[in-house]
Structure 1
Amino acid sequence: MEFTTTALALTGLLIAAWTAAAAWLMIAASAKARQAESSRKAARRMARMIDEAPAIPLLVRTDGRIEGSERLAGWLGLDRMPQYLSELSGGAGKGLSPVQLAGLTDKVRRTQRSAAPFRLAMTPPGSNRSLAMRGNLADPQVSPGGAALIWVFDFSESQTELVKLRNEAARAQEDFAALVGLIEAAPMPMWFRGPDAKLRLVNQAYVRAIGAASADAAVERQLELVEPVDGLTAGQIAAQAAEQNLPIERIVPATIDGQRRSLRVSDLPLGAEGVAGYAVDIEEMEEQARTFRAFRDAQRSMLDQLSIGVAQFDSERKLTYANQPFRRTFGISSGTVSAGTPFDRLLNDARESGKTPEVRDFPAWRAEHLEWFTSGETQEEAWPLPGGTHLRIVAQPMPDGGLVLIAEDRTEQLALSATRDTLLRTRTATFDSLFEALAVVAPDGKLQLWNRSFAGAWGVDPEFLDSHPNAADLLTAIAPNLARAKQVSIIGEVIRAATLDRKETGGRVMMSDGRTLEFAGVPLPDGNGLLTTLDITDSQKAEDALRERAQALEDADAVKTRFLANMSYEFRTPLTSIGGFAELLAAGVAGELSDQGKDYVSAIIDSVGRLTEQVENVLDLSQSEAGLLPITKERMELMPFVTQVVREREQAIVDAGLTLDLRGSAGGKIEADQRQLGRALGHLLDNAIAATPKGGKILVDVGKPKGVARIVVSDNGRGMAKAELARALDGLRENKDGSGLEKRQGLGIPLARQLVEAHGGSLEILSRQGAGTTATILVP
């Protein structure tokens, strides 16, 4: 019983000890668990910090195995981190390149052997990342056994910025060197002044312009390129530019290489550094400007001489010039041009004055025409204006944004065109309606035009002519219709002479049907030749008949000539004999006559004289009408000649109780037959004396105005009516039945007219019944 109690006690103590031990173990385990959890959290924080750190560690053991994060694999372009260093080159654009891997391996081995740190920068192929690697021997606590620890930094942004800065610095240096070289090589003088406005730097162009030995010499001596202007030196003007902090530009003359040149000088302030300057030689520009102004003035002067209106608008669409025809066409004053009227306003004014076409929507039409300035092509329009005027408008856009507007008045041209069309139609109608057969042949021998009579005249098919055959084919078609086929060569020669030789020739052929055709080749002004053909069969027959009749008329004329010569002898010889015997009787050769016998003899002598005069008049009139009147011209004074003819009729004038007034100026001379012209004037005076009652007056006016002799015989007698004057001018006329002569008003006036016309002059007679008669002789 005691044993049991002791055993129980021991057992209880044992159990208590085990319980205490278990409790202590539990408490210790709980503390270790808490410590382990804290370590794990710290490890995770460290791992996270490492993952977020700009540098990632890479542990390389001596056997080549590596330890690294997947993030580093991503930087290297790998899908996962490999186990060995040699596997960092994945190929196909992934991982490191073989060269980079070899370099990294060499560095790692050197560090593992000698514990020497290294630095390495690389960019994996196919990646934009720039990686910096810093390697050293790993701490034994990290990895015992000589492992290498590599810290990999991603310095892509820093590298890009660094590269950019380096490039910019290099580019700035290059730009500065290029700028210095450009300034030195610049063809224009350039310089730099300090804050004191004194020269510090000049280029070679400046040195050459001023004729200095060198740039240093120019700066040392402060040689200025520009002369003082208005008392201000170049340095003072540069100082003003620096004070105002504004660039100053001016045009001044300067002497360069012994020549006066125009320079555009610019001073550019550069803040506290100083003032830069340069000079541009604008002498050629000024010369070109002067030449351009002269050319523009000459061009505008030439445009003023044109018949076509021309106007110029600038880029602001304002009128800058309009020549005289343009101003006249649109009714524009010179003030409108000088005021620079806008294009749209010009259209408005033109519309109000009726110088634009009638349109339904004028604003839209105006806006459409404003687009001419921006159009890249030439615009052309026809403007029919009220009143029948037609304008041709051409708008030519200019490269400077302006516009040249050309207005041509084509009213007359259109009228001429319409007239030309009418003339062409008229020519065609006339061409076809002519009796002649006509054809126009080109210089190459091709038939161009023909009328309807041509085919029938030459016996060719009209459809054949529609094909416009050449001359050779046409002659081939005509040859069978000729009486002698070989004569077709004559037609060919005529065509060739008209088209090529430009000579007018002709010929005549007989057709096989008995017709006679006469043809001629006429060269036309346009280079073509006209072949005209006329059927002269009937005219040939008539010509033969007329030739026979002309021969008969010539024979009759010869008979008439012999008749007049015979009659002149037969009439004058008996009258001369009768007059001579009567004068002998009156002289008492046959014995003393009684008073009654003397009266009879005197009457015979007077009758013989009058009959002799009438016979001479008849013979002279007959000879004049036959063209046989002899005219012997000689130089004579006009006034003495007329005076002599008047003196011969002085007694008749006195016996008739008339007065005569002779007027004229001496000195005029003419070429005339004194006897024949005197007879003509005498007949007119005799008619005036006979027609004027007692107490009347006769006026004779003599003159030679404009080289033509004029003799006027005027009276205030009874005058003649129109019918009487016509009968007096006719003289003798053959009866209607041809049996004899019909007596008219005498032979004086007709003979006088014939005698005057034989001298190449004319006789004009004006008479009014009861007012008198005026006869005017005009002799050249």
Structure 2
Amino acid sequence: MELPPTALVLMGLLLAAWTFGAVWMVVGSLQRRRAARAARKTVRRLTRLIDDAPAVPLLVKPDGKIEGPDRLAAWLGLPKLPGFISELDSTDGGITTEDLAELREAVRRTQKTAAPFSMVVTAKRSTRSLAVRGQLADPAIATGGAALVWWFDFSESQGELSRLREETARARNDFAALVGLIEAAPMPMWFRGPEMDLRLVNSAYVAAVGAEDATKVVEQQIELVETVDGLTAAQVAGQAHSRDMPVERIVQATLGSQRRTLRVADLPLGEEGVAGYAFDIEEMEEQGRAFRAFRAAQRSMLDQLSVGVAQFDETRRLAFANQPFQRIFGLPGTVLVDPPDFDRFLDKARDNGRLPEVRDFPAWRAELSGWFTEDAPVEDAWTLSDGTHLRVVGQPMPDGGLVLVAEDRSEQLALSATRDTLLRTRTATFDSLFESLAVFAPDGRMQLWNRSFPAVWGISDDALDEHPHVDKLLDRIANRLARPAQRKAIGEVVRAATLDRQERGGRVVLSDGRTLEFAGVPLPDGNGLLTVMDVTDSTKAEEALRERATALEEADAVKTRFLANMSYEFRTPLTSIGGFAELLQSGVAGELSPQGKEYIAAIIASVERLSQQIESVLDLTQSEAGLLPIATEDVDLLSFTTGVVRAREEAIEAKNITLDLHGDKSAGQVSADRRQLGRAIGNLLDNAIAATPEGGRILVALTRRKSGARIVVSDNGEGMKPSELARALDGYRLPGADGSEGKRGLGLPLARQLIEAHGGRLEIQSEKGQGTTATVLLP
């Protein structure tokens, strides 16, 4: 039977719907199967997660029943988890009764109020620490108001926590100690925060800035260090913080009321801030300045020494050398600019010829380098090629350096050789002297003597070999003295020369009749010299001279009496002759013939001339004998000299002589005997007039000096030779111009005597054919 198309369509649709439903059911079944399998995996995974979780859940129902994994029973030390919460307190394990009571109370409160809780319990017979946190269970987990309690095993965390607590307590104690230490520190210390503001200061900082307390310092941000080069202390600390490097500097700051030098350090502490401290180095700076001044003064002093001094540092490099050291070794003046080491110094000195010649120089140089490590000073003598002798001393220093001292002893050795020569010369001189010499020390012991000393006293040479004391020496010579008591006088002379440093002398007579004269002379070295001389012959000659002097004194007295008598005996007859001749000339005895008048005139002229000669002879004799009377008075030199010149006006005009008198009132006055000085100057004028030819010239000049006056009488006559001038001053006869014997010249000797009697001096200069100049110097 054929179905209609509509039925076919419907059957096809039905079949298609049935097929689709079957497929849909199969697909849905497969999906549900996969979902179930995924759910089981999720349950197993969550169960595994719960088993491996650090927390274990415990569900507590309102009736006290509990549900939880066996892992919690293992934590509590139970073989299995009990059915009720009250059974967690077991004798074999569980928790303590107190912890259980607190837990039950907390669970009951949570079940009623839904308030969570937390607590810590400790399992019995175990060191395990358990943290308990409870809350109301979600209805999806349990209905009826059950509580979900989570158990956490934080035994390791508790140990770590205990350790952290201990470390925290220790850190707190350390921090307190550190703060106390910083507070008690004598130096200012501070701490700055990240913004470089002061957070903490100690009491030394507060005292340094003069604040009330640390709080005021922090509040007012009082800085200890002032602004330097435009940077404040906070800015410098900021630089140290930004660079993460410590900054240290030396600045001036005011501490209290004093200006001090500080060494300031800023130490960055990471992100926390910057710590700082300040050291007061004012005393160190003062010591440094004092040390530098001392070193400069020491080196300046060393430059003034004649000994060469050089210092090598611990690296064996030349650190200092004074000027004598540089001269001795021929070093340049720039040696301290580029200082050489010890070996190079020796090489330079060798090149300059200032080291001794040695066969193996490297070995010798190595030996000298060993001076740096010696324990004691080393001394050596160097003889250079030019004959210089050096005494070299190496002084090792504690820091490993070396001080080298070089002394030029060439002059000392030369002086030593000269001294030895002088000593030998002195000994030879002593032995060759005629006098007897002996040198005594201040203690009275005999030091040195010559060969004549024991001979003059009559003692043996062996007696002096032991250098006897002066008292023992006097004991030996006492029996050779005419008066033994005189030994004391010799001892006093020696003591005065050695101890009192006085020069004394004396004379003794020996028992054999000889006379010895001795004297003690202090020597510069503290010793005393005793000189002894045999004056027997001179004593006899002295006695003879003394007798002759006595005779001369008696003869001088006779001469004085003779001059006194002759002054009367000569002048009385001559006066009588002149008086009678004047009476005859006046006509008392009658008129005389012309020839008689000529005779009388000649007699009168001769009497006057003889009177002058007698008076000159007597004055000259009295002057030589010191008997010439001088009555001084103030004499005006110009008027006085003018009067002397005018008294000889006739003689000057008779020979047509030109006389120039130079002088004025500035010549002043002199203290003199007017008569005697007039005779002296008159004699000089008379000699000038006599020596000047007709038409000649005479100069008389008066001048004033600081110490007196000067009178010059000069003529242009014939003059005299030196021998003639000497004879004229002695009063001998001088030959005339025609060769005949001249007059006895007493004028010059008398003038010299009269001028010297006034304390003056007569100087005469004469040249043959040029004239004569006489200069009178008066005080």
The two structures have a TM-score, normalised by structure 2, of 0.65
- How much has 1:172 moved relative to structure 2? 11
SS at match of 1:506: strand
For 1:83-110, what per-residue CA distance to the aligned partner results, in whole angstroms no more than 9, with x for missing partners? xxxxxxxxxxxxxxxxxxxxxxxxxxxx
Distance in structure 2 (CA, Å) of the matches to 1:649 and 1:351 = 94
Which residues of 2 match residues 702-713 of structure 1 at below 5 A?
Answer: 702-713=702-713
SS at match of 2:566: helix
Q: What's the counterpart of residue 724 of structure 2?
A: 724
Equivalent residue letter for 1:233: T
Task: Establish whether residue 774 from structure 1 lines up as the match of residue 776 from structure 2.
Answer: no
Question: Is contact 1:320–1:337 with CA below 8 Å preserved after alignment?
Answer: no
- How much has 1:362 moved relative to structure 2? 13
Question: Is contact 1:319–1:337 with CA below 8 Å preserved after alignment?
Answer: no
Q: What's the counterpart of residue 660 of structure 1?
A: 659
- How much has 1:470 moved relative to structure 2? 0.7
Could you say if the C-alpha distance between residues 368 and 340 of structure 1 is closer, same or farther in structure 2, counting changes exceeding 3 Å?
A: farther
Could you say if the C-alpha distance between residues 723 and 258 of structure 1 is closer, same or farther in structure 2, counting changes exceeding 3 Å?
A: closer
Equivalent residue letter for 1:512: S
Q: What's the counterpart of residue 610 of structure 2?
A: 611
Question: Is contact 1:226–1:234 with CA below 8 Å preserved after alignment?
Answer: yes
For 1:299-351, what per-residue CA distance to the aligned partner results, in whole angstroms no more than 9, with x for missing partners? 677778x575888778595687967x999999999x95996776999999999
Distance in structure 1 (CA, Å) of the matches to 2:185 and 2:668 = 94
Could you say if the C-alpha distance between residues 203 and 754 of structure 1 is closer, same or farther in structure 2, counting changes exceeding 3 Å?
A: same
Q: What's the counterpart of residue 515 of structure 1?
A: 514
For 1:680-722, what per-residue CA distance to the aligned partner results, in whole angstroms no more than 9, with x for missing partners? 2222221111111122211222223341432222221111122
Distance in structure 2 (CA, Å) of the matches to 1:745 and 1:369 = 95
For 1:168-197, what per-residue CA distance to the aligned partner results, in whole angstroms no more than 9, with x for missing partners? x9x999999987665444322223334443
Which residues of 2 match residues 47-58 of structure 1 at below 5 A?
Answer: none
- How much has 1:201 moved relative to structure 2? 4.3
Distance in structure 1 (CA, Å) of the matches to 2:701 and 2:388 = 58
Distance in structure 2 (CA, Å) of the matches to 1:761 and 1:420 = 52
Equivalent residue letter for 2:205: Y
For 1:461-495, what per-residue CA distance to the aligned partner results, in whole angstroms no more than 9, with x for missing partners? 21111211012211111112122333323323333
Question: Is contact 1:731–1:743 with CA below 8 Å preserved after alignment?
Answer: no
Q: What's the counterpart of residue 588 of structure 1?
A: 587
Equivalent residue letter for 1:718: E
Distance in structure 1 (CA, Å) of the matches to 2:310 and 2:775 = 68
Q: What's the counterpart of residue 692 of structure 2?
A: 692
Which residues of 2 match residues 231-380 of structure 1 at below 5 A?
Answer: 231-292=230-291, 306=304, 308=306, 315=313, 336=334, 377=377
Which residues of 2 match residues 477-556 of structure 1 at below 5 A?
Answer: 477-556=476-555
For 1:717-748, what per-residue CA distance to the aligned partner results, in whole angstroms no more than 9, with x for missing partners? 11112222222222249xxxxxxxx9985222
Question: Is contact 1:440–1:528 with CA below 8 Å preserved after alignment?
Answer: yes
Distance in structure 1 (CA, Å) of the matches to 2:719 and 2:690 = 11
Q: What's the counterpart of residue 672 of structure 1?
A: 672
Equivalent residue letter for 1:724: E
Among all aligned residue pairs of Structure 1 and Structure 2, give the percentage whose two residues are the same amino acid: 66
Equivalent residue letter for 1:761: G
Q: What's the counterpart of residue 209 of structure 2?
A: 210
- How much has 1:570 moved relative to structure 2? 1.7
SS at match of 1:704: strand
For 1:243-300, what per-residue CA distance to the aligned partner results, in whole angstroms no more than 9, with x for missing partners? 2233222222322223232212111234445433221112223334454566566667
- How much has 1:457 moved relative to structure 2? 1.5
Distance in structure 2 (CA, Å) of the matches to 1:632 and 1:407 = 78
Which residues of 2 match residues 42-81 of structure 1 at below 5 A?
Answer: none
Q: What's the counterpart of residue 682 of structure 2?
A: 682
Could you say if the C-alpha distance between residues 585 and 383 of structure 1 is closer, same or farther in structure 2, counting changes exceeding 3 Å?
A: farther
For 1:213-260, what per-residue CA distance to the aligned partner results, in whole angstroms no more than 9, with x for missing partners? 555665566543223334433222111112223322222232222323
SS at match of 2:521: strand
Distance in structure 2 (CA, Å) of the matches to 1:454 and 1:437 = 4
Q: What's the counterpart of residue 475 of structure 2?
A: 476
Distance in structure 2 (CA, Å) of the matches to 1:571 and 1:290 = 102
Q: What's the counterpart of residue 759 of structure 1?
A: 758
Question: Is contact 1:377–1:396 with CA below 8 Å preserved after alignment?
Answer: yes
Could you say if the C-alpha distance between residues 693 and 465 of structure 1 is closer, same or farther in structure 2, counting changes exceeding 3 Å?
A: same
Moved more, 429-438 or 389-398: 389-398
Q: What's the counterpart of residue 570 of structure 1?
A: 569
Distance in structure 2 (CA, Å) of the matches to 1:595 and 1:219 = 152
Could you say if the C-alpha distance between residues 430 and 688 of structure 1 is closer, same or farther in structure 2, counting changes exceeding 3 Å?
A: farther
Question: Is contact 2:328–2:354 with CA below 8 Å preserved after alignment?
Answer: no
SS at match of 1:519: strand
Distance in structure 2 (CA, Å) of the matches to 1:700 and 1:350 = 80
Could you say if the C-alpha distance between residues 405 and 713 of structure 1 is closer, same or farther in structure 2, counting changes exceeding 3 Å?
A: farther
Distance in structure 1 (CA, Å) of the matches to 2:657 and 2:179 = 126
Q: What's the counterpart of residue 49 of structure 1?
A: none
Query: Structure 1 unaligned runs (5+)?
Result: 1-168, 734-741
Question: Is contact 2:248–2:263 with CA below 8 Å preserved after alignment?
Answer: yes
Which residues of 2 match residues 224-235 of structure 1 at below 5 A?
Answer: 224-235=223-234
- How much has 1:517 moved relative to structure 2? 1.8
Distance in structure 2 (CA, Å) of the matches to 1:503 and 1:671 = 45
Could you say if the C-alpha distance between residues 624 and 382 of structure 1 is closer, same or farther in structure 2, counting changes exceeding 3 Å?
A: farther
Question: Is contact 1:700–1:711 with CA below 8 Å preserved after alignment?
Answer: yes
Could you say if the C-alpha distance between residues 319 and 701 of structure 1 is closer, same or farther in structure 2, counting changes exceeding 3 Å?
A: farther
Distance in structure 2 (CA, Å) of the matches to 1:385 and 1:587 = 111
- How much has 1:451 moved relative to structure 2? 2.0
- How much has 1:637 moved relative to structure 2? 3.0
Query: Structure 2 unaligned runs (5+)?
Result: 1-167, 734-740
- How much has 1:777 moved relative to structure 2? 2.2
Equivalent residue letter for 1:698: I
Could you say if the C-alpha distance between residues 619 and 175 of structure 1 is closer, same or farther in structure 2, counting changes exceeding 3 Å?
A: farther
Question: Is contact 1:395–1:406 with CA below 8 Å preserved after alignment?
Answer: yes
Distance in structure 2 (CA, Å) of the matches to 1:531 and 1:658 = 71
Question: Is contact 2:440–2:447 with CA below 8 Å preserved after alignment?
Answer: yes
SS at match of 2:228: coil
The two structures have a TM-score, normalised by structure 1, of 0.65
Question: Is contact 1:727–1:745 with CA below 8 Å preserved after alignment?
Answer: no
Equivalent residue letter for 1:712: V
Distance in structure 2 (CA, Å) of the matches to 1:745 and 1:332 = 84
Moved more, 752-761 or 597-606: 752-761
Equivalent residue letter for 1:674: R
Could you say if the C-alpha distance between residues 295 and 268 of structure 1 is closer, same or farther in structure 2, counting changes exceeding 3 Å?
A: same
Could you say if the C-alpha distance between residues 580 and 519 of structure 1 is closer, same or farther in structure 2, counting changes exceeding 3 Å?
A: same
Equivalent residue letter for 2:267: L
Could you say if the C-alpha distance between residues 309 and 437 of structure 1 is closer, same or farther in structure 2, counting changes exceeding 3 Å?
A: closer
Could you say if the C-alpha distance between residues 227 and 724 of structure 1 is closer, same or farther in structure 2, counting changes exceeding 3 Å?
A: closer
For 1:548-594, what per-residue CA distance to the aligned partner results, in whole angstroms no more than 9, with x for missing partners? 22222122112222222222222222222112222222223323333
Moved more, 698-707 or 310-319: 310-319
